[in-house]
Structures are given as structure tokens and as C-alpha cells.
């Protein structure tokens, strides 16, 4: 249920369903991160991709011979640059970014179509040790994506030596059924002469984990995979094979030094990832960049400004709900509620004379104008909901279900 509203709309009383600027699958139903559309429109045609997932074939155009398509999970610790990389690869802002760890809370999809492939990137929440139910659901969401995609890109901070957090994620991916690429981000920050040692720390980390199951970088004999099944792991004998020139065992994890900020090395990463996708048709229209609901994108733009302008515990205690979107003709009116857990946090967000809330609203409105492609009126409310991060019903209402 939406928070109660006792303020009349400033423009029109007719609610508006947002007109998505981001594309949805032509079937009309959004797929899960690892699943193509489940059904085609009435009278439309349905096909299957290489993994048996249903896709709509209408209005997607003809895919050339040898075309590859699939889902790519961006996995890593918080604040290693996954959202920055996603925005750079897609060429548009589809995920918010900030210096605050755990910025990403939802699985966000960005779509990149090239002449030879269509890559659907899934930006996941950073994997970390959770301290509340919200954190548990975010980590659950990230871990669940591993078993629902065609390729995994493990993003690490390549300007630092491999650490325990990286080791935890590598161990999590140990029995991954699909190809894994390790992207060493922030390569532009690496001092001259230090690159080899930093890269070696990650190569050794990967070798120590995947080598212990009977393989090594570049191949090896087909030993049986051990370990518990966690959605994306293989309990069968030997590796899972691909279907083309990108064939690799899941035990071979190439390293790619990149900079998500400058784009250095990302073309090489894209080529390598695309080569590991299965053969298949377009899953989305070629001009699509995301399939996220516009209301989610609007809420994220507001939360991004909160992250930018506040400090300490405020960023992690905030959620945003879009209550109404009203089209009055010349401009779009958006009413949103910012949820916090304590009255002191509400006071900080509002600021003296409403100055902080006004600054947050102004910054969000500038980004919304680009998304809506027209003038925007934004009205923000702040509401105290004690312990919402530990309330299952409230988390479900806000869309944090962990799936």
C-alpha cells in the first residue's frame, strides 16, 4: 500500500501511467534476469533460445547468421564500479552511481546491441555481509542472478590487491556452470610498475579456488565439480560446453584490465563476453537500452540525490516510493515519498527551511527531465517508518523481495 497522501495534486487529478522511454520485450512481459519473455502477444509467434527460454519473435527483426544473445551478470563487492561500467557499456544512464557503498539495490538490466550480438547486462547489488533483512535480500538477489545468466563478469577493484571479500565471491562462483570473466576495474588508477603484482594477486586467487577442483586457467582434465549446488553451480561431471568459437570450460577465467570511468579495455571485454554468449536471436528491439519500469528509474534518481547530499547513516536508511505521476499537458507532475527510519533523519533530509529537500529535488528533477524528455514538476514528502529495513511486508511493498 502506498503511503497516505493528504496533499492535493498541483496540476491534474487524473493519474498518468508513465510512457516508458526504455523498451520492454515485444511479448509485453518483462523477463527475469535469466529468462526471455514467457509469451508472445495474441496471434504472435514464439520461439526458444539456445537454453530453451521462450522469446517473442515479433517485431524484433531478422538476426544475421551467427548472431549471439543472452544475459550477463555483473557481480562484485559493493562500490567496485558495476553501475558505472553498466552505464558506460550501454551508453546511457540506466543505473544510479555514488561513492556510497551498496548503492545498487535492485537487479537493473541494461541492453547493448551490436551488429553481431545482443548483451543484456544485469547489474546486481554488491555482495557483502548483511546486517539486516534488507541486506540479506540484496545479497540473495545478487547470488540468485548467478544461476540465471549465460555469462558472469566478476568486477573487482584492480587498483588494490585481492582481498577476503573477493575471495568469498570467487569461492561462491567456484562451481559456476557458465563462463566467468574477471574485470580488473580502476586500471587507470594503478601506478606504473604495480600492474603486474596487482593482476597476479587476482590470478593467484582464482587459480587457488578453481584449480582445487581439478582445473586451471586455460583448461585441464575434466574433473568432477564438487561443492553444494547454489543455483549457478554444476553438479555433473566435467564442464559445461558452449556452442561456437567462444567455447571455454567454466574453469577458465580470463582477466581483463579495464577502466569503467574512461572506457579503457571495455571493448576487449565486450568482445570476449559476446563470444561466450549462446547463438540466438534478438531478445529485445535493437534500439532498447533498458527494460526497467519508468517508476523504478524515477525513484532511483531521487535516491541518487539523497546519496549525493547526505552522509553517515542517512543513505542506507532511505527508500523512495513514487506515489503518483500526473500528466497535465505542458509538464509531468511526480509525487514521491522518501522513507527514513528515525525522526532525526527526517529533519536532516528536510534541512533548515526545507533547504536540503529542495536541493535533493532540484538535482533529481534535472535528471528526470532527460528521462521524461519534457518539463517535470517534482514534489517530495518525507515519512518516518521505523525499522523498515527489517520489516518483511514493507520490503516487499518497496520491491525488495530478494528474487
H-helix or E-strand spanning residue 133: helix 133-146
H-helix or E-strand spanning residue 146: helix 133-146
Rounded-to-integer distance, Cα 48 and Cα 18, Å: 30
Segment among 17-21, 63-67, 346-350, 385-389 with least mean pLDDT: 17-21
Pairwise pLDDT comparison (147 vs 69), residue with the higher score? 69
Pairwise pLDDT comparison (221 vs 333), residue with the higher score? 333
Q: What is the mean pLDDT of residues 15-33?
A: 40
Integer CA distances (angstroms), 282 to 55, 96, 386, in order? 9, 26, 45
Segment among 34-38, 123-127, 200-204 with least mean pLDDT: 34-38
Question: Is domain 46-275 classified as CATH 3.40.640.10?
Answer: no
Integer CA distances (angstroms), 383 to 4, 107, 230, 354, in order? 10, 25, 38, 14
Segment among 95-99, 124-128, 164-168, 247-251 with least mean pLDDT: 247-251
- Please report, for the chain, the start and end positions of each structural domain, with discontinuous segments joined by +: 46-275, 294-397
Among candidates 219, 61, 190, which has minimal Cα distance to 201?
190
Q: According to the model, what pLDDT value does residue 202 have?
A: 95
Of 39-48, 88-97, 108-117, highest mean pLDDT: 108-117
- Residue 12 — pLDDT band, cuts 50, 70, 90? very low
Q: According to the model, what pLDDT value does residue 249 have?
A: 42
Mean pLDDT of all residues belonging to the chain: 74
**Predicted confidence (pLDDT) at residue 359 exceeds the cutoff of 70:** yes
CATH architecture of the domain formed by 294-397: 2-Layer Sandwich (3.30)
Q: What is the mean pLDDT of residues 284-302?
A: 86
Rounded-to-integer distance, Cα 85 and Cα 145, Å: 18
Q: What is the DSSP letter of 353?
A: G
Q: Got the DSSP string for 38-85?
A: S-PPTT--EEE-TTS-EEE-TTS-PPPTT-EEEEEEEEESTTSSHHHH
Q: According to the model, what pLDDT value does residue 63 have?
A: 83
Q: What is the mean pLDDT of residues 226-254?
A: 44
- Residue 60 — pLDDT band, cuts 50, 70, 90? low
Q: According to the model, what pLDDT value does residue 100 have?
A: 54
**Predicted confidence (pLDDT) at residue 61 exceeds the cutoff of 80:** no
Among candidates 247, 158, 239, which has minimal Cα distance to 203?
158
Q: According to the model, what pLDDT value does residue 376 have?
A: 93
Among candidates 103, 175, 118, 112, which has minimal Cα distance to 143?
175
Q: According to the model, what pLDDT value does residue 400 have?
A: 66
Among candidates 370, 369, 385, 376, which has minimal Cα distance to 321?
385
Among candidates 44, 43, 77, 49, which has minimal Cα distance to 59?
44
Q: What is the mean pLDDT of residues 272-299?
A: 90
Q: Say how many CA atoms lie within 13 Å of 372 toward its Cβ.
A: 26
Q: What is the mean pLDDT of residues 277-295?
A: 88
- Residue 401 — pLDDT band, cuts 50, 70, 90? low
Pairwise pLDDT comparison (250 vs 67), residue with the higher score? 67
Quick check: 55 and 38 in contact, CB under 8 A? no
Quick check: 254 and 272 in contact, CB under 8 A? yes
- Residue 356 — pLDDT band, cuts 50, 70, 90? very high
**Predicted confidence (pLDDT) at residue 223 exceeds the cutoff of 70:** no
Q: What is the mean pLDDT of residues 265-289?
A: 94
Q: According to the model, what pLDDT value does residue 187 have?
A: 93
pLDDT digit string, tens, across residues 14-23: 334 344 344 4
Q: What is the mean pLDDT of residues 52-71?
A: 71
Q: According to the model, what pLDDT value does residue 72 have?
A: 94
pLDDT digit string, tens, across residues 126-164: 675 555 566 566 666 666 668 788 999 999 999 999 998
Q: Say how many CA atoms lie within 13 Å of 337 toward its Cβ.
A: 16
Among candidates 350, 383, 372, 360, which has minimal Cα distance to 302?
360
**Predicted confidence (pLDDT) at residue 239 exceeds the cutoff of 50:** no
Rounded-to-integer distance, Cα 251 and Cα 208, Å: 12
pTM above 0.85, yes or no: no
Q: Say how many CA atoms lie within 13 Å of 167 toward its Cβ.
A: 9
Among candidates 360, 311, 364, 318, which has minimal Cα distance to 339?
318
Q: According to the model, what pLDDT value does residue 7 have?
A: 34
Amino acid at each position: 500500500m502506498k503511503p497516505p497522501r493528504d496533499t492535493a495534486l498541483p496540476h491534474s487529478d487524473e493519474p498518468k501511467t508513465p510512457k516508458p522511454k526504455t523498451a520492454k520485450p515485444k511479448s509485453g512481459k518483462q523477463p527475469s534476469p535469466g529468462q526471455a519473455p514467457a509469451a508472445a502477444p495474441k496471434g504472435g509467434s514464439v520461439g526458444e533460445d539456445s537454453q530453451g527460454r521462450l522469446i517473442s519473435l515479433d517485431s524484433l527483426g531478422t538476426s544475421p547468421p551467427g548472431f549471439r544473445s543472452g544475459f550477463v551478470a555483473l557481480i562484485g563487492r559493493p562500490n567496485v564500479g558495476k553501475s558505472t561500467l553498466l552505464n558506460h557499456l550501454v551508453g546511457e544512464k540506466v543505473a544510479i552511481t555514488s561513492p556510497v557503498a551498496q548503492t545498487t539495490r535492485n537487479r537493473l538490466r541494461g541492453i547493448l546491441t551490436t551488429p553481431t550480438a545482443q548483451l543484456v547486462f544485469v547489474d546486481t547489488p554488491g555482495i557483502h555481509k548483511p546486517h539486516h533483512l534488507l541486506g540479506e535480500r540484496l545479497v540473495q538477489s545478487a547470488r540468485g542472478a548467478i544461476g540465471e545468466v549465460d555469462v558472469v563478469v566478476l568486477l573487482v577493484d584492480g587498483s588494490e590487491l585481492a582481498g577476503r571479500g573477493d575471495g568469498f565471491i570467487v569461492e561462491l562462483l567456484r562451481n559456476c556452470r557458465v563462463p566467468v570473466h574477471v574485470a580488473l576495474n580502476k586500471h587507470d588508477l594503478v601506478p606504473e610498475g604495480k600492474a603486474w603484482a596487482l593482476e597476479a594477486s587476482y590470478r593467484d586467487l582464482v587459480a587457488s579456488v578453481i584449480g582445487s577442483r581439478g582445473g586451471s586457467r586455460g583448461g585441464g582434465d575434466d574433473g568432477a565439480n564438487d561443492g553444494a549446488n547454489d543455483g549457478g553451480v554444476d553438479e555433473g561431471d566435467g564442464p559445461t560446453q558452449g556452442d561456437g568459437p567462444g567455447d571455454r570450460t567454466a574453469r577458465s577465467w580470463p582477466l581483463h584490465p579495464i577502466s569503467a570511468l574512461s572506457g579503457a579495455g571495455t571493448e576487449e571485454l565486450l568482445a570476449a563476453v559476446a563470444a561466450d554468449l549462446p547463438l540466438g536471436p534478438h531478445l529485445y528491439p535493437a534500439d532498447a537500452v533498458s527494460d526497467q519500469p519508468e517508476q523504478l528509474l524515477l525513484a532511483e534518481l531521487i535516491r541518487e540525490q539523497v546519496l549525493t547530499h547526505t552522509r553517515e547513516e542517512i543513505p542506507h536508511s532511505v527508500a523512495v516510493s513514487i506515489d503518483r505521476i500526473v500528466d497535465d499537458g505542458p509538464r509531468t507532475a511526480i509525487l514521491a515519498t522518501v522513507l527514513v527510519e528515525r525522526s532525526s533523519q527526517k529533519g536532516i533530509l528536510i534541512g533548515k527551511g526545507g533547504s536540503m529537500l529542495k536541493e535533493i529535488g532540484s538535482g533529481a528533477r534535472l535528471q528526470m527531465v532527460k528521462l521524461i524528455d519534457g518539463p517535470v514538476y517534482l514534489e517530495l514528502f518525507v515519512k518516518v517508518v521505523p525499522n523498515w529495513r527489517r520489516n518483511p511486508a514493507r520490503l516487499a511493498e518497496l520491491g525488495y523481495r530478494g528474487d
